[in-house]
Amino acid sequence: MPMPVVPLAGYELFRSGDLDEARERVAAVFCPHRLDMIGRGQMDARQHHLPGERLSLNYIQYGAKTLIAPGELERFYLVQIPLSGGAAIVNGNDRYYSSPKAAAVLNPHRPTTMIWEEGTRQVLVQIDRRAMQEHLSAQLGAQADRPLSFSGPLDLTQGPGAAFRRLVLFLLAEADAGPSPVGAGMLGRSVESALLSGLLEAHQHDYAALLGRRRAAPRPRHMRLAEGYIMANLDQPLTIEAIAEAAGISPRGLQLAFRQHRDTTPLGFWRDQRLARAHGDLVAGAGSVTDIALRWGFGHFGRFAESYRARYGMSPRDTLRASRGEFYQD
């Protein structure tokens, strides 16, 4: 697909020949990091940034050969697709070279160091870590209980990897041609979901076998309708009758279907999904325990705390304290 010489031209954040300014401006979007020039190149740094709800699209160049060491990204996954040049990548135990034929996918929970070659130009997809984990859980139909970890370079030359690259470049072209294709609204959310699903399908990761088994045994239509209705109304009071009506099946039939395909009940599935959202908010420190419990429809705080501890092995209060760096005791 034809691309502008510089993608996202209407979303420029900065352009500078000053190393310190480049470090500061990029850190404001991503995270604090070490940025050093290597060799005799000339710094010509620029970043273009298009924010969405769960991800952002970016274009970055430095001109000169650079060493970049952010440590753990913590809050986000980062997909780096070189348009020209390349980069040596270290992400945890992974060590590989990224080029226009092989993207880098950086895990947020593993330390990262990179060397970008002189003249490297990259498109970057920054994906919120919590959103990625929640999307994975929705694909699994159950809570993902450990961090999602990608491994190795992402092959962009064939199959799902090539399709993922084409989708990213298409979205850049759409952004350059008109309104933002990512972010708020039904279309923007659908586009972001397509990117997250595309990455899960295209790249190697430690949930691939589970997703493969799930795809091999497709859910009946009434299960998909019921789960969709539940996910769209997580914070609302639900009854088995309302869910069954939305799915076009009897309450008894729906109970049996959930037992067969999910080994739980419809209301158990609803509770587990709300617990997962509450857990995410507690880890993020997004309010008090009471606020978060009420946000996700838990009006009985004692039962909420009991269910939460049974699932996550600690109380909601202790999770919130840990998220704030406080010491706690059982």
328 pLDDT above the threshold of 60: no
Q: How far is CA 279 from the centre of its chain?
A: 16
CATH architecture of 221-323: Orthogonal Bundle (1.10)
290 pLDDT above the threshold of 70: yes
The stretch 262-278 carries a mean pLDDT of 86
- Answer whether 0.85 is exceeded by the pTM: no
Longest dimension (CA), the chain: 72
Q: Give the pLDDT of residue 213.
A: 60
Fold of 9-210: Jelly Rolls (2.60.120)
4 pLDDT above the threshold of 70: no
Angle, to 10 degrees, between the axis of helix 185-202 and the axis of helix 159-177?
150
| Phi, psi (degrees; rounded to nearest 5) at 45 | -90, 140
Task: Give the angle 184-247-139 at the CA atoms, nearest 5°.
Answer: 50
For 293, counting Cβ atoms within 10 Å of its Cβ (0-12 exposed, 13-18 middle, 19+ buried), the class is buried
197 pLDDT above the threshold of 60: yes
What mean pLDDT, rounded, does the chain reach? Answer: 88
Q: Give the pLDDT of residue 330.
A: 33
Please answer whether residues 109 and 130 qualify as being in contact, where contact means their C-beta atoms are separated by less than 8 angstroms: no
Going from the C-alpha of 101 to that of each of 4, 38, 166, the distances in angstroms are 19, 24, 12
Please answer whether residues 66 and 38 qualify as being in contact, where contact means their C-beta atoms are separated by less than 8 angstroms: yes
Q: Give the pLDDT of residue 215.
A: 53
Q: At residue 3, what is the residue type?
A: M
Whose CA is closest to 61, among 98, 24, 31, 16?
16
Strand partners, 61: 46, 121
Whose CA is closest to 298, among 321, 322, 282, 314?
282
| Phi, psi (degrees; rounded to nearest 5) at 250 | -75, 155
The stretch 1-24 carries a mean pLDDT of 86
Q: Mind listing the pLDDT tens digit for each residue in 271-283?
A: 888 888 888 788 7
Domain residue spans of the chain: 9-210, 221-323
The stretch 233-243 carries a mean pLDDT of 90
Strand partners, 60: 47, 122
Strand order in the sheet with 102-106: 12-16, 45-51, 55-61, 121-128, 76-84, 102-106, 154-155
9-210 and 221-323 share one fold: no
Whose CA is closest to 88, among 63, 118, 123?
118
The three-class DSSP label of residue 101 is: coil
Whose CA is closest to 61, among 79, 71, 75, 47?
47
The three-class DSSP label of residue 322 is: helix
Give 288's contacts (C-beta < 8 A, 6+ positions apart): 320
DSSP result, 140-163:
HTS---S---B-S-EE-SSHHHHH
**Spatial distance between the Cα atoms of 134 and 53, rounded to a whole number of angstroms:** 14
